Amino acid sequence: MRYWLLKTEPEVFSWRDLTLVEREPWDGVKNFAALKNMSQMRPGDLALIYHTGKERAATGIADVVSEPYPDPKEKDPRWIVVDVSARELLERPVTLSEIKQDPEFSGWDLIRLPRLSVMEVPEALWRRILEMSTH
């Protein structure tokens, strides 16, 4: 199992929106580095749903429930999606400012590559975020 972070604009599609559907294609990703990350996602992986914009916080956990496949809304097969479903709301959101203050995260892509919308979360950092969400 691998861990991921998926960024979304909450006014377009939020954690709450994900809880209202059984499963949802994670679409709209056009950055090739993010697409490369998506191509490595597999059913059984977990993903933090991260709200961008004013919130800038990890808010919930989703299950990856499909292999990557071409986005049916696009003509170019390079644009892929994976289906995700809501698993659980974090006890409390973990903000970007909290993450930046913790030296454990200093080399992570969320800090180094702030425009990257899909990234892997190393297991130690995943556990740290979950721990932070309970305090």
CATH number at residue 48: 3.10.590.10
pLDDT at res. 54:
94
Q: Bridge partners of 72?
A: none
pLDDT at res. 14:
96
pLDDT (average), residues 96-119: 95
**Of how many residues is the chain composed?**
135
Q: How many domains does the chain have?
A: 1
Global confidence as pTM: 0.95
Residue 109 has pLDDT above 90, yes or no: yes
Measured between alpha carbons, how far is 47 from 34 in angstroms, rounded to an integer? 14
Q: Which domain holds residue 55?
A: 3-133
pLDDT at res. 135:
87
Measured between alpha carbons, how far is 128 from 22 in angstroms, rounded to an integer? 28
Binned at pLDDT 50, 70 and 90, residue 130 comes out as: very high
- The rounded mean pLDDT for the chain is 96
Measured between alpha carbons, how far is 125 from 4 in angstroms, rounded to an integer? 11
